[in-house]
Structure 1
Amino acid sequence: MPGPQGPWEPVREDLAETGAAVVYGTLGTWSAYLQQPEVLQPLLGRDWARYLSQPHPRSKERFLASRLLLRQAAAEAIGTVPELVDLAYHPGGRPYVRGCDQIDISLSHTEEVMIVGVTRRGRIGVDVELAGRRMAGTASETQGFTHVELADLDRAPASRRNDLLVRLWTLKEAYSKALGQGLRFRFTEFGFALDGAGARLMQPDGRPVAGGSAWTFVTFLVEPRYVVSVAVYDSGFGGGVDLSVETALDDGLLDTLLRASDWR
């Protein structure tokens, strides 16, 4: 997504057709829209204090651009404007839209790339890593993967080992984010069997996880130096959900909120 102007129609189409959408932006293109300080505080809302607390100009820029992308994507999903998206955070840091449990959101960023996931079917987690991140032969390899995963890697060509490790790591990050656990969930307590661009959730001993069919996992490249993995849990809500805030809220309440914000 090159900027707030979109095009956002593919996001709405994906949500309507599949129940989930994933968008990405680059820091350079999105930070170009953040040169008007007078609009930053109302745009960030309760994130304003977190923005001011960022220790370095670069971290401030990344925080600002990533929250703008997240707010814009959530706004498009529920049919409103970013200024009216009230972002909040669970104790573990997982973001959500306050007062709008029709959707679930997830955010990840590294270096120049920001990823946002939105779903109306249940839970979503996204993660992005530099494709060239070195993991083979490091502590991450021995501490972050099951014995079955490492045995599978041993059977793969040595030239692909690091690429597969990065892919598995991003899948684990995305899955744990969807669960709301982050790095508190030990990565040796679950594993993945890679299957084309997708993956299947496995127990540490290599057996399929009960109920794992409700999860969808996919990995792809962007920009193209970055590996992105997405985990989506279908809670069985179905596909016929109208996400617009205008239908999700009582008409009288909506009118009161709009008058209070002076937005139509």
Structure 2
Amino acid sequence: MRYVVPTGAGRPPITVLTTGRPPAGAGPRRAAEIAQSRALLRDLVRTVLGPGAARRVIAPAGQRPHLPGTRCGLSLAHTDRHLAAAVWPAGPVGVDIQEPPARLDPRLVRRCCGRPAGEREFCAVWTVQEAYAKATGLGMRSAFWQLPVSPEGDRGELGEVRWARLAHPVAALAVAWTDRHGVDPGRDSPAGPARTSSPC
């Protein structure tokens, strides 16, 4: 599925592409996962920015994908069954996708939602929080699970980061973006100063 997300007057939209994830194949699962994600991202960049830009995409394993020499923001997300990619020509972007889990850890739900919540509410909150972490480039250092996100509504703001939820048939899907490169976690993150520990 392809989504076009408006970002305000005078600015280009964000384009998001999702697809079902094929079996990992004969090679190691992680290698297949990386290859599938890179292929999806390059297909999207080719559509939005042209074949020349697609050839210049750098997407190393475990690192944020980027397009050297540009302001363009790129992001990837995956689950066991789906892949998602996002491109924004105007700046940093983050995307996240999550299917409702069969079983939830109540501690993780409270940590992210601030209260008990169902699986769909949890996914609606988690995807916005993780998209924020990707858009800011802070990842787990931002303590993103503490961000005050409501499970309701299609759009919102977290400091200087804007976010939108996108309708998907079976998964929660969210995208976040900011005009600023290199957001200061101590000053700008609604979750407070950066931390280095994982929530799980």
TM-score normalised over the length of structure 1: 0.56
Identity %: 25
Partner of 1:41: none
Residue 109 of structure 2 corresponds to residue 144 of structure 1? no
SS in 1 for 2:47: helix
Partner of 1:256: none
Partner of 1:165: 122
Q: Quick one: structure 1 residues 193 and 130, their matched pair in 2 at CA, closer, same or farther if it must change by over 3 Å? A: closer
Shift of 1:17: 7.3
Shift of 1:97: 1.5
Shift of 1:139: 2.4
Check whether the contact 2:71–2:92 (CA below 8 A) recurs between aligned residues.
no
Partner of 1:217: 163
Q: Quick one: structure 1 residues 196 and 189, their matched pair in 2 at CA, closer, same or farther if it must change by over 3 Å? A: closer
Match of 1:231 among 169, 172, 176: 176
Number of aligned residue pairs: 179
Separation in structure 2 between the aligned mates of residue 81 and residue 112 of structure 1, nearest angstrom: 30
Separation in structure 2 between the aligned mates of residue 86 and residue 18 of structure 1, nearest angstrom: 19
Letter matched to residue 163 of structure 2? F
Shift of 1:216: 2.5
SS in 2 for 1:69: helix
Shift of 1:217: 1.3
Gaps of 5+ in 2: 181-200
Shift of 1:67: 0.7
Greater share of residues in helix: 1
Gaps of 5+ in 1: 2-7, 35-54, 154-159, 202-211, 236-264
Shift of 1:127: 0.7
Check whether the contact 2:72–2:90 (CA below 8 A) recurs between aligned residues.
yes
Match of 2:83 among 100, 114, 130: 114
Separation in structure 2 between the aligned mates of residue 194 and residue 130 of structure 1, nearest angstrom: 15
Asked which structure has the greater CA Rg, the reply is: 1
Partner of 2:67: 97
Check whether the contact 1:88–1:98 (CA below 8 A) recurs between aligned residues.
no
Shift of 1:83: 6.4
Check whether the contact 2:21–2:81 (CA below 8 A) recurs between aligned residues.
yes
Letter matched to residue 218 of structure 1? A
Separation in structure 1 between the aligned mates of residue 58 and residue 174 of structure 2, nearest angstrom: 23
Letter matched to residue 98 of structure 2? E
Cα deviations by residue, 1:59-101 (Å, 9 ceiling, x for unpaired): 33222111101112123322225762231459x72111223x1
Separation in structure 1 between the aligned mates of residue 110 and residue 161 of structure 2, nearest angstrom: 26
TM-score normalised over the length of structure 2: 0.72
Partner of 1:22: 16
C-alpha RMSD of matched pairs (Å):
3.5
Superposed, 1:1-264 pairs within 5 Å as 18-28=12-22, 57-81=28-52, 84-89=55-60, 93-99=63-69, 101-135=70-104, 137-145=105-113, 149-150=114-115, 161-187=118-144, 189-201=146-158, 212=159, 214-222=160-168, 224-235=169-180
Q: Quick one: structure 1 residues 14 and 25, their matched pair in 2 at CA, closer, same or farther if it must change by over 3 Å? A: farther
